[in-house]
Amino acid sequence: KKHDPEYVIGFSQCVGSDLWRKTMMEEIKMELSLHPNATLVYADANGSSKTQIEQVKKMLNDGVDILIISPNEAMPLTPIVEQTYNKGIPVVVIDRKTSSNLYTAYVGADNYEIGKMAGEYAGNVLKGKGNIVEIMGLPGSSPAIERQRGFADGIKRFKDVKVTSQLYGNWLKGTAENQLLKSAASLNNVDMVFAHNDVMAAGARSVINRLRLNHSIKVVGIDALPGNGGGLQMVGSGVLNASMLYPTGGKEAIVTAFRILNKESFSKENNLQSLVIDSSNVQLMKLQWAKVSSQQKDIERQQALLTEQETLFKSQQTVLNITVIT
């Protein structure tokens, strides 16, 4: 829209450096390109809740019209998000949650349901019998809590499917590898590793390979990102047996933010869909993604052409003006 007021959008990201959050940022930028008058103020807390609180405080001081936030851990970030909301600044929570319902809107997939879907998938793939090692995300971050609860509920009806060991990988590949190596014994007699994201799942696969363990151990993750190094590629090549799609919600967060800012109707809860990606549908998903990304490139080419023509048009106008004056 051409006539958007000059909104300032604050975006507080818990950690910006991984592929999932880079993908989120790409989506955000893409959607923001439709609102050329808006300014995005971005802060990356680099995995520290303390830093994130400081960064939000600074945004509030400098002044933002709306805050989009993915809280590193639920509890520590709750007071500052509540304060923002109570000041009358709308808050869009994305992916990770606080432990309060004082926010304007939430955008993201339901992590409890994703965990449950993974659990049911595990029970079926293991044909109702097997031992699972669970590698969990950062303790205190809402997706780790919800995925763990969901998974436990998902395997419940498979009486002989058990989580025999749990460890925290804190969402990071290296941490997952170290923790798994420390408790390598837990991998004996194990049929599956379920990790709360694909990077930790990839870490588990590399540990399994390094220890030359039984190659029939299945590894299941979450995210299923497209592109180089993403989960789709890893499911395609057999590094992972399956991954639950976890959409980033970048586009939807911006759409929701503008609806709020422009006083249009919006939903408080914006639930994004998930699905199981495994060998049965990974090819299809990769094809779909290739198509979407080539269409995206076409759009970018068209935009570049438009800018070019605009510049040309302006220079012609200048010439015309000079002609009129003389």
Q: At what angle do helices 198-210 and 173-182 cross, to 10 degrees?
A: 40
Residues touching ligand FRU, count (CB under 6 A): 13
Write the CB contacts of 273 (distance below 8 Å, at least 6 apart in sequence): 109, 245, 247
Could you say which of 95, 134, 177, 191 contacts ligand FRU (CB under 6 A)?
95
Q: Note whether 106 binds ligand FRU by CB under 6 A.
A: no
Q: Note whether 20 binds ligand FRU by CB under 6 A.
A: yes
Give whichever of 21 and 35 is closer to ligand FRU, judged by the CB atom. 21
Q: How many CB atoms lie within 10 A of CB 235?
A: 28
Task: Give min distance, CB of 289 to ligand FRU, in A.
Answer: 18
Q: Note whether 110 binds ligand FRU by CB under 6 A.
A: no
> Which position has the token pair 């975006």?
11
Contact 150, 118 (CB under 8 A): yes
Rg (CA), the chain: 23
Q: How many CB atoms lie within 10 A of CB 320?
A: 10
Considering only residues 128 through 187, tell me which ones interact with ligand FRU, judged by CB under 6 A: 137, 143, 171
Q: Note whether 246 binds ligand FRU by CB under 6 A.
A: yes
How far is it, in rounded angstroms, from Cα 140 to Cα 170? 10
Give the residue at shortest CB distance from ligand FRU.
197
Task: Give min distance, CB of 246 to ligand FRU, in A.
Answer: 5
Judged by CB under 6 A, the stretch of 14-22, 268-276, 291-299, 308-316 that binds ligand FRU is 14-22
Judged by CB under 6 A, the stretch of 15-23, 34-42, 120-128, 178-186 that binds ligand FRU is 15-23
Contact 202, 220 (CB under 8 A): no
Write the CB contacts of 196 (distance below 8 Å, at least 6 apart in sequence): 134, 135, 136, 137, 143, 144, 147, 148, 169, 171, 221, 222
Judged by CB under 6 A, the stretch of 16-24, 98-106, 150-158, 303-311 that binds ligand FRU is 16-24
Give whichever of 81 and 126 is closer to ligand FRU, judged by the CB atom. 81
How far is it, in rounded angstroms, from Cα 170 to Cα 176? 7
Q: How many CB atoms lie within 10 A of CB 99?
A: 16
Task: Give min distance, CB of 167 to ligand FRU, in A.
Answer: 16
Task: Give min distance, CB of 221 to ligand FRU, in A.
Answer: 9
Task: Give min distance, CB of 247 to ligand FRU, in A.
Answer: 10
Could you say which of 145, 223, 256, 274 contacts ligand FRU (CB under 6 A)?
223
Could you say which of 21, 35, 173, 218 contacts ligand FRU (CB under 6 A)?
21
Could you say which of 91, 222, 254, 277 contacts ligand FRU (CB under 6 A)?
222
Q: At what angle do helices 250-261 and 19-32 cross, to 10 degrees?
A: 40
Task: Give min distance, CB of 291 to ligand FRU, in A.
Answer: 24
Q: What is the DSSP string of 62-98?
A: H--SEEEEE-SSHHHHHHHHHHHHHTT--EEEESS--
Task: Give min distance, CB of 103 to ligand FRU, in A.
Answer: 16
Q: Note whether 73 binds ligand FRU by CB under 6 A.
A: no
Contact 243, 194 (CB under 8 A): no
Q: Could you give the dihedral angle defined by the CA atoms of residues 135, 137, 140 and 144, in that order, rounded to the nearest 10 degrees?
A: -80
State the residues that interact with ligand FRU by CB under 6 A: 15, 18, 20-21, 95-96, 137, 143, 171, 197, 222-223, 246
